[in-house]
Amino acid sequence: MRQSSNTTLEISKTKMKYPLHITSEIGKLKTVLLHRPGKELENLIPEYLERLLFDDIPYLPTVQKEHDYFAGILKNRGIEVLYLDKLAAETLEDEKVRRQFIDQILSESGANPNGTYNILKDYLLSFPVEEIVHKVMAGVLKTEIAEEKKTHLYELMAGHYPFYLDPMPNLYFTRDPAAVIGEGLTINRMREEARRRESLFMQYIIKYHPRFAKFDIPVWLGRGERFPIEGGDELILSKDTIAIGVSSRTSAKAIENLAVQLFQRQGEIQRVVAVEIPKSRAFMHLDTVFTMVDFDKFTIHPAIQGPDGNMRIYILEKSEDPDQVNIRERNNLPAVLKEVLHLPEIDFIPCGGGDIIASAREQWNDGSNTLSIAPGVVVTYDRNYVSNEMLRNHGIEVIEIPSSELSRGRGGPRCMSMPILREDI
């Protein structure tokens, strides 16, 4: 990638006005944002696991080793890996931005403006900027603040709850808080309280980081929206069609609002396909049950289709009134994909080979959650050996990564990556 003087980015034959560019799920991946799991995982304890959306406590040294392996695979394939903590620290170098960020994170964390707020603000500001970022991510324990600084009754009372600031253990799933569509992005209002502050990092990075700030990047939906949407539900099928899961995390209202915004402002997207999936913990986002791995190939967990293969699918398109959309109902996913991608056939590759036990077991550990790094080339977890074999049998190149600890957070390679730039296909 090189940057010319008129700030036009050029990647192979693709010319870009903005430093974000995603027009498919499968185009050659050039730049991706990751977060190396850190101390925030060490602040998980059994009592709060469910609320913090974990099923178990990963062993930090191993989870980091596995994550480094994942990042290494991507780097070896020539992909630029950006790290969330580094971008955030560079963004907060500016003192005014740093203070504003801390104010916002504290008020969103529910710190009392007259008491804990000031103590926490002074405490965070006393660290170098990289450490501020890591502290905000890891959470602040009540025991970290010196006793003599506590002046309010509720600060003096020992209290049962251990944190002033909750940890953000789900940060390594960079897919969800924000997602690039075309040359803009959604900075998401996340459904679960435990994850809601995560998208603040991306809001600041896009607005203030030197790599992005000068471009005035379009934000299709911001984090101040009323209705929840998460990146794991946002799939870019082609430059003119996106699919969005109607899931336990993403609401139909957010999808319609996004469609209106894209049709009014984005220029290329002609349709948004809303795909309903069962609202369950195992299937929290569309990408936990359905991902694109080649021009005409998709992984799918068979359990999202009814006994007759039917599902509830709606195609949203432009209407004459720019504030409205036309909606057509459909019920067959392969038929919809053939229609919107103009393909004669679609190849569905069932998670776990479609075996009732293997598919449920491997889906639980993200067997359908593949990260495409080029057409027909995917990164997957090694533990999902039945699904990986199926992918290979369908002509896909599968790059496996170790996954005994990473998988405990209930997300796979797609969830752990936020593509920033892909070549067009």
Ligand X SMILES: NC(=O)NCCC[C@H](N)C(=O)O
Active site (catalytic) residues: 415
What is the size of the binding site for ligand X (CB under 6 A)? 15
Asked whether position 410 contacts ligand X by CB under 6 A, the answer is yes
Comparing CB distances to ligand X, the nearer of 28 and 410 is 410
Q: Which two tokens stand for residue 4?
A: 């010319």
Q: What are 141's strand-pairing partners?
A: 163
Asked whether position 175 contacts ligand X by CB under 6 A, the answer is yes
Site string for ligand X, 122-161 (x = CB under 6 A): ----------------------------------------
Q: Near ligand X by CB under 6 A, which window of 25-33, 151-159, 266-274, 407-415?
A: 407-415
Q: Which of 391, 399, 397 is nearest to 348 (CA)?
A: 391
What's the CA gap between 179 and 373, in Å, rounded? 16
Asked whether position 405 contacts ligand X by CB under 6 A, the answer is no
Q: Are 44 and 57 contacting, i.e. CB atoms less than 8 angstroms apart?
A: yes
Cβ at position 122, least distance to ligand X in Å? 32
Phi, psi dihedrals of residue 371, rounded to the nearest 5°: -105, 115
What's the CA gap between 227 and 229, in Å, rounded? 7
Comparing CB distances to ligand X, the nearer of 98 and 249 is 249
DSSP 8-class letter at 210 = H
Asked whether position 245 contacts ligand X by CB under 6 A, the answer is no
Asked whether position 367 contacts ligand X by CB under 6 A, the answer is no
Comparing CB distances to ligand X, the nearer of 284 and 396 is 284
Q: What DSSP string describes 37-62?
A: --GGGTT--GGGTTTTT-SS---HHH
Of 287, 294, 362, 405, which lies in the binding site for ligand X, with binding defined by CB under 6 A? 287
Cβ at position 411, least distance to ligand X in Å? 3
Q: Which of 245, 244, 371, 234 is nearest to 299 (CA)?
A: 371
Cβ at position 108, least distance to ligand X in Å? 17
Helix, strand, or coil here: 15?
Answer: strand
Residue ranges in 178-197 that form contacts with ligand X under rule CB under 6 A: 195
Cβ at position 233, least distance to ligand X in Å? 8
Cβ at position 176, least distance to ligand X in Å? 5
Cβ at position 178, least distance to ligand X in Å? 12
Asked whether position 301 contacts ligand X by CB under 6 A, the answer is no
Q: Calculate the alpha carbon distances from 54 to 70, 106, 126, 369 in Å.
A: 21, 23, 31, 17
Residue ranges in 197-216 that form contacts with ligand X under rule CB under 6 A: none
Comparing CB distances to ligand X, the nearer of 98 and 301 is 301
Phi, psi dihedrals of residue 370, rounded to the nearest 5°: -100, 150
Asked whether position 285 contacts ligand X by CB under 6 A, the answer is yes
Residue ranges in 27-56 that form contacts with ligand X under rule CB under 6 A: 53
Of 24, 170, 305, 363, which lies in the binding site for ligand X, with binding defined by CB under 6 A? 170
Q: Which of 111, 285, 271 is nearest to 188 (CA)?
A: 285
Comparing CB distances to ligand X, the nearer of 116 and 370 is 370
| Residue 300 CB-half CA count within 13 A | 19
Report the DSSP pairing between strands 377-381 and 219-221: unpaired
Q: Are 128 and 117 contacting, i.e. CB atoms less than 8 angstroms apart?
A: no
What's the CA gap between 425 and 28, in Å, rounded? 8
Residues lying near ligand X in the complex (CB under 6 A): 53, 170, 173, 175-176, 195, 232, 284-285, 287-288, 409-411, 415
